[in-house]
Amino acid sequence: MRRFVLGAAVLAALFTLTACRQSVGGVPQSSAPGYVLVLSVEPTTPPVGIGTLSVSVFDPDGAPVLPAAIARIDAIGNMSHAGMTPVELAVSSGDLAMVSAGTYHLPFDFNMGGEWFIDVSVTLTGGGIVTGRIDLDVR
């Protein structure tokens, strides 16, 4: 048990080091139990430049979450190397582009090639935040 705890601590430390999130004050924890985010980018390996981040939000019953129930969607993109300014995007409810029920397309600026991870948080009007992360490569 003790060995396992130590191993987990080392893994967590390694992750923190490699993730290089120096200027991100902390991605909020999900506080909307049962809600699910499905994240993707189109195309799967986008070129450098403005790409499409697709965010689908489902409630605990599996029903799509519509704009009226969403206050805002925030996305913070980081890369695995040091010295990178995170790319941040915030879209309020009225500006959301819903492409199908509960699925939103956000214009995300992939301003550099390489390995990215994007943390997305959806703030619900009824309270609570749904969070998720997607890893991807930009060419």
Q: Which residues bind Cu ion (CB under 5 A)?
A: 79, 84, 112
Q: Which is nearer to Cu ion, 60 or 113 (CB)?
A: 113
Task: Name the 3-class secondary structure at 18.
Answer: helix
Smallest gap from residue 81 Cβ to Cu ion (A): 6
Q: Which is nearer to Cu ion, 118 or 130 (CB)?
A: 118
Smallest gap from residue 84 Cβ to Cu ion (A): 4
Q: How far apart are CA 61 and CA 14, in angstroms?
A: 37
User: What residues pair up with 90 in beta bridges, in sequence order?
Assistant: 74
Q: Which is nearer to Cu ion, 69 or 112 (CB)?
A: 112
Determine contact, residues 107/50, Cβ cutoff 8 Å: yes
Q: How far apart are CA 78 and CA 15, in angstroms?
A: 13
* Angle at alpha carbon of residue 54, lines to 50 and 56, rounded to 5°: 160
Smallest gap from residue 31 Cβ to Cu ion (A): 30
Smallest gap from residue 85 Cβ to Cu ion (A): 8
Q: Which is nearer to Cu ion, 79 or 91 (CB)?
A: 79
Distances (CA, A) of 27 to 43, 44, 130: 25, 24, 11
